[in-house]
Amino acid sequence: MPASFERAGISFQFPDNWKLQDPDPASLSVSVESPQGAFWSLDLFPGYHEPTNLAEETLRTIKEEYDEVESQFVQTEVCGEPAVGFDMQFYCLDLLIQSKTRVVEVGGETLVLLFQAEDRDFTSLEQVFHAITASLFESLR
């Protein structure tokens, strides 16, 4: 049975062996972490915010934390909605990390999604990231 999160009009389901990362009740940010350290995170911005600016801000934050971040700008879809973001790779403690950020508008809100895992685990976890995101979109439509 999946675990679930609900607050401020948003909800999503995630694997029951993943841990909810102590969200601040006043914040519109939440993340869940896998037992292997991969994570899915959401920052919610009510109203319209320029998606490319938010994607670039997320990239800048990653670059401040990690050295030599390789990135590629992408225009794609998330659950059928247009999205922009970056695919990123960098090393952390000698591990190659893959990270993807996607910014999408839905239901009058702007969402910044971030998925991150070790390179060797990312492909298998990408389906889990998409399932969590799909359950979120169901709650917003």
CATH code of 128's domain: 3.40.1000.10
Number of domains in the chain: 1
Rounded distance between C-alpha atoms, residue 133 and residue 141, angstroms: 13
Three-state DSSP at 139 gives helix
For residue 82, the model assigns a pLDDT of 96
Query: Are the C-beta atoms of 103 and 111 separated by less than 8 Å?
Result: yes
Pairing of strands 19-20, 29-33: antiparallel
pLDDT of residue 91: 93
Q: Which backbone phi and psi does 31 adopt, to 5 degrees?
A: -145, 155
What pTM, to 2 d.p., does this model score? 0.92
Query: Which residues are CB-neighbours of 8 under 8 A, at least 6 positions away?
Result: 28, 44
| pLDDT (tens place) for every residue of the chain, 141 residues total | 789 998 877 899 999 999 998 666 767 889 999 999 999 999 988 888 899 999 999 999 999 999 899 999 999 999 999 999 999 999 988 889 999 999 999 878 899 999 999 999 999 999 999 999 999 998 886
Distance CA 132, CA 111 (A): 14
Do 102 and 123 meet the contact criterion of CB atoms below 8 Å apart?
Answer: no
Q: Measured between alpha carbons, how far is residue 49 from residues 91, 92, 108 in Å?
A: 30, 31, 10
Residue numbers of the domain that contains 41 = 3-140
